[in-house]
Structure 1
Amino acid sequence: MDPLIERLAALQVSSLCDADKGLAVIDPQIHAMVPGSRLAGPAFPVVAHDDHLPLLVALRLAEPGSVLVVATDGHRRAVSGELFATEALRRGLAGIVIDGYCRDVAGLRALGLPVYARGSTPMAGSTRDAGTFGGPILIGGVEVTAGDLVVGDDDGLVISPPERLAAALPTAEEIERAEQALLRGMAAGRSLPEMTNLDEHLAALAEHRETALRFTV
């Protein structure tokens, strides 16, 4: 696995967002259909309009480790389900993200491959339009180009060029180390406020001085 992707996969998406407040966050209506999902990988953009043929083609074209990122442009039929997720897992893909709908939720959850969608519907589309691939596409309010990195967990998804995520990574890792220290402190009986500069921060705010809330563990 690429070292950058490996490090991203170990992080919470919230930590990346804390490290870079300008990261492109996908519309939270596109959510994990499989609880406990965590994914990181390069985007393979797909356009599929009420037709799941593009997904079948994409499953053959996408490189192992990649994430199928599917724009349906507001169409309402399922474009992926258990069979496609099983093939994605067999081919070593990292997951599937759909700005639209999937189906076979019970099967997806049993399978465990990360799948994100706006929801589920039992009605699938046709198999008459081969779709388009490679992007750029718009998904959940974010423009996605082939090679952008997708990082997701139960909190949601961010998609960004690799260099921007790489720049945020050291700070995100430090945030997680600090949060683990806070959790250990609370487990040992310390209060969360006492492990921050809360009083100093409140005083500075009251005096309209520049300030930031910090961990002091």
Structure 2
Amino acid sequence: MVDVTHQELVRRLLTIEVSALSDADKTLPVVAPEVRAMVPEVRMAGPAFTVVAEDDHLPVFSALAEAAPGDVLVIATNGHALAVLGELFATEARRRGLAGVVIDGYCRDVAGLRRVGLPVFARGTNPKSGSTVSRAPLGTTVRCGGVAVSPGNMVFGDDDGVVIAPVERMAAALGAAEAIGHAERTLLDAMASGRSLHEQTNWSDHVTALDAGRSSALEFRTDSD
């Protein structure tokens, strides 16, 4: 296991993109792409605080009272379609210092969510909400967008999507992800100076090898290589 503190892991994740982490370890579990950012240009990382809310948002209200600053609410609705979070809950989550919310289901008050600015990921919006009577237990293992999520798993999301995995798996991929992010920034800087992306790769040799039936891999070359 990579020796990195929880706080350091979160800090370093927030300096890279989810796509870089996914490239560093292509086996990391990715939440279904239908669960997408409701507020654009956001990034979040933090431990999962799990909730089950099936057309009833009382469990989410209860979770807001118990979750710690820096947590990410991971809400499983198990296929139900009514909204379980809106502007009021998002505002309270922001006030309490939560890092964000991932809903395998629906939210509402999108204009208000944008004003709040809290990272919220959901399958979409529904103006209709449900009841407030469920006493579903908090902090259980849930399924969110096809991913099994246990309390304390690390949640990392941006506009591209959400990855959720045990802390040690995220930490193990972190160094490679940072290197990928650095290389991509170097390539972009070179392109801004007029250098083509193709000439920063082995593209010509790569396609020649493939056409000749030889194995090959596309490589990106930066000045630091």
Same fold, TM exceeding 0.5?
Answer: yes
Name the aligned partner's letter for residue 191 of structure 1.
S
Tell me the CA shift for residue 20 of structure 1: 0.8
Identity of aligned residues (%): 59
1:146-192 deviation digits (Å, cap 9, x = unpaired): 11111000110000111111111111111111111111111111110
User: Which residue matches 1:21?
Assistant: 26
Query: Alpha carbon RMSD of aligned pairs, Å?
Result: 1.1
Describe how 1:89-108 pairs up with structure 2 within 5 A: 89-108=94-113
| Pairing partner for 1:199 from 190, 196, 204 | 204
Q: State the TM-score, normalized to the length of structure 2.
A: 0.94
Which ranges in structure 2 are unaligned for 5 or more consecutive residues? Answer: 1-5
- Select the residue among 137, 150, 159 that pairs with 2:164: 159
Residue 150 of structure 2 corresponds to residue 116 of structure 1: no
Equivalents in 2 of 1:186, 1:92: separation in Å? 39
CA shift, 1:37, in A, is: 1.6
Contact 1:45 1:134 in 2 (8 A): yes
Q: Which residue of 2 aligns with 1:128?
A: 133
CA distance in 2, matches of 1:63, 1:165: 21
* Amino acid across the alignment from 1:180: R
Q: Aligned partners of 1:89 and 1:114: how far apart in 2?
A: 9
The equivalent of 1:181 in structure 2 is 186
Q: Which amino acid aligns with 1:114?
A: P
Instruction: List gaps (5 residues or longer) in structure 1.
Output: none
Report matched runs for 1:77-96 at 5 Å. Answer: 77-96=82-101
Give the number of aligned pairs. 217
Match of 1:171 among 166, 169, 176: 176
Pick the aligned partner of 2:56 from 51, 64, 70: 51
SS at match of 1:132: coil
Stretches of 4+ moved more than 6 A in 1?
A: none
Q: Match of 1:2, SS?
A: helix
CA distance in 1, matches of 2:80, 2:137: 15
Aligned-pair CA distance for 1:216: 1.3
Q: Secondary structure at 1:215's aligned position in 2?
A: coil
TM-score by length of 1: 0.97
